[in-house]
């Protein structure tokens, strides 16, 4: 039955394209930061689609939304989902594909008159990106019980607005309690956000694991002084220390090798004038590895170097942990099932890790979990040119449908 049942590609693309109008950027792409006005518009529209399908809708105290399609038995649901918030210059597919594919799977079940043994649900989680509020994935963290509701509601963005205030403003501080909703299985369909599938001509990524993630913010305090009259030997240059840390982060990745990556994604320098020695820098370093011990090694190398370099330059340095997630390995039985369903559908596949963080890695702590990747053109993501062929989106949604039905109807 699962191989004969197919999603409606036109409807799936309609879902994605309509969602892409909320926060649309001129020339393409989307800016839909978590809990913004655009996020509210998108949430309202997705909820309206859930209502049109007759789903039971659950909105919890951190703004996570779940639509539940009733099963034959009153038991925990088999759930799909992801997120609909974006970075400031995002595309149409990151996160959104997982949610819209979930809507399409349930639409297909309803059209076909199929009521599986277990309920089937589709969810979107608050602030997966972490682009406005850190840490990323805090919506699923609170949902799973890994972060307290009180801590999450008190998180502030750069303008000082709290999560609690912004949830109230957009009307999505729900009544459903967090940390107590049971889930049977969680599947997240997603674009790869990397070039491997596209470059190798592979249709389905069978995701076995997610890299560990370490986000650190450094604050460097030096002495502001005249650029022309202050001898090099007498400077306390916060900008120089930041530059050295930036370069060393790349060197750490090369030295360790393998799957180790390092990125300095944010630098703010003050007073930011051409003829003044910088006295204040805030910067971030993102380290990732599939091996937690190696990730810890990278952190130690970076932190020691930052302290020593600051001491040599005579500046003060402090660091703050923005996010830290250990590597995650998904449920073998479901990973195998994704691979089997791809083979049965005549689609080539590849087992692979994810280099990006996802809600699925958080839910892994509460239920069997796995992910399905589809290619994205040239590996571009977090980019307004992010693109996946409709046929590839359809293929991924069909594998999601097959796996969900197998999990929902198992004894």
Annotated binding residue at 280? no
Q: What share of the chain is helix, strand, coil (3-state, %, to 5)?
A: 35, 25, 40
Bridge partners of residue 204, in order along the sequence: 349
Q: Are 199 and 377 in contact (CB under 8 A)?
A: no
Residue 165 burial (C-beta neighbours within 10 Å; 0-12, 13-18, 19+): middle
The residues with which 226 forms a beta bridge, in sequence order, are 276
Closest CA to 148 of 156, 158, 134, 138: 138
C-alpha pair distances (Å), 99 with each of 42, 227, 347: 12, 53, 22
CA-to-CA distance for 226 and 330, rounded, in angstroms? Answer: 55
C-alpha to C-alpha distance for 169 and 317, rounded to whole angstroms: 37
- Within 10 angstroms of residue 179's Cβ, the number of other Cβ atoms is 16
Joined tokens for residue 121: 């649900």
**Alpha-helical runs (H) found in 236-291:** 238-256
Q: DSSP string covering 161-172, please? A: -BHHHHHHHHT-
Residue 160 is encoded by which pair of tokens? Answer: 């000082």
What are the residues facing 225 on neighbouring strands? 277
Helices (H), 156-265: 163-170, 196-200, 238-256
CB burial string 147-157: b at 16+ within 10 A, e below: bebeebbebeb
Q: What are phi and psi of 156, to 5 degrees?
A: -110, 150
Rounded to whole angstroms, how far apart are CA atoms 375 and 191? Answer: 6
Rounded Cα gap, residues 304 and 317, in angstroms: 11
DSSP character at residue 24: B
Q: Is 83 annotated as a binding residue?
A: yes
To the question of whether residue 190 is assigned a binding role by annotation, the answer is yes
| CA separation for the pair 83, 359 (Å, rounded) | 8
Binding residue positions for Zn(2+): 83, 94, 129, 190, 382
Binding residue positions: 83, 94, 129, 190, 382
């Amino acid at each position: 039955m699962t191989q004969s049942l197919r999603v409606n590609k036109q409807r799936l693309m309609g879902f994605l394209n309509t969602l892409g109008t909320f926060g649309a950027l001129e020339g393409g792409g989307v800016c839909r930061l978590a809990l913004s006005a655009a996020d509210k518009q998108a949430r309202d529209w997705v909820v309206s689609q859930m209502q049109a399908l007759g789903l039971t809708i659950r909105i919890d105290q951190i703004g996570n939304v779940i639509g539940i399609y009733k099963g034959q038995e009153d038991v925990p649901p088999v759930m799909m989902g992801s997120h609909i918030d974006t970075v400031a210059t995002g595309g149409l597919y990151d996160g959104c594909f997982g949610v819209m594919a979930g809507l399409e799977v349930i639409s297909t079940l309803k059209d076909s008159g199929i009521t599986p043994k277990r309920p089937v649900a589709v969810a979107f989680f608050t602030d997966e990106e972490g682009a406005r509020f850190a840490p990323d994935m805090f919506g699923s963290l609170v949902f799973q019980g890994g972060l307290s509701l009180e801590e999450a509601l008190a998180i502030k963005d750069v303008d000082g607005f709290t999560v609690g205030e912004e949830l109230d403003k957009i009307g999505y501080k729900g009544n459903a309690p967090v940390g107590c909703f049971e889930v049977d299985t969680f599947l997240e369909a997603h674009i790869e956000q990397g070039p491997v599938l596209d470059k190798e001509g592979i249709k389905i990524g069978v995701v076995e694991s997610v890299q560990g993630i370490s986000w650190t913010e450094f604050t460097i305090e030096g002495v502001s002084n005249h650029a022309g009259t202050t001898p090099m030997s007498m400077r306390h240059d916060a900008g120089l220390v930041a530059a050295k840390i930036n370069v060393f982060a790349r060197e750490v990745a090369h030295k360790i090798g393998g799957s180790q990556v390092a990125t300095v994604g944010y630098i703010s320098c003050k007073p930011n004038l051409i003829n003044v020695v910088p006295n204040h820098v805030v910067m971030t370093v993102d380290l990732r590895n599939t091996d937690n011990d190696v990730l810890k090694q990278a952190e130690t190398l970076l932190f020691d170097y930052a302290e020593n370099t600051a001491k040599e330059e005579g500046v003060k340095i402090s660091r703050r942990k923005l996010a830290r997630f250990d590597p995650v390995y998904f449920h073998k039985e479901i990973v195998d099932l994704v691979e089997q369903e791809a083979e049965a559908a005549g689609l080539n596949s590849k087992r692979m890790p994810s280099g990006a963080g996802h809600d699925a890695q958080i839910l892994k702590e509460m239920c069997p979990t796995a992910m399905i990747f589809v290619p994205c053109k040239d590996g571009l993501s977090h980019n307004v040119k992010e693109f996946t062929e409709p046929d590839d989106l359809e293929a991924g949604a069909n594998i999601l449908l097959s796996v969900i039905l197998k999990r929902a109807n198992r004894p």
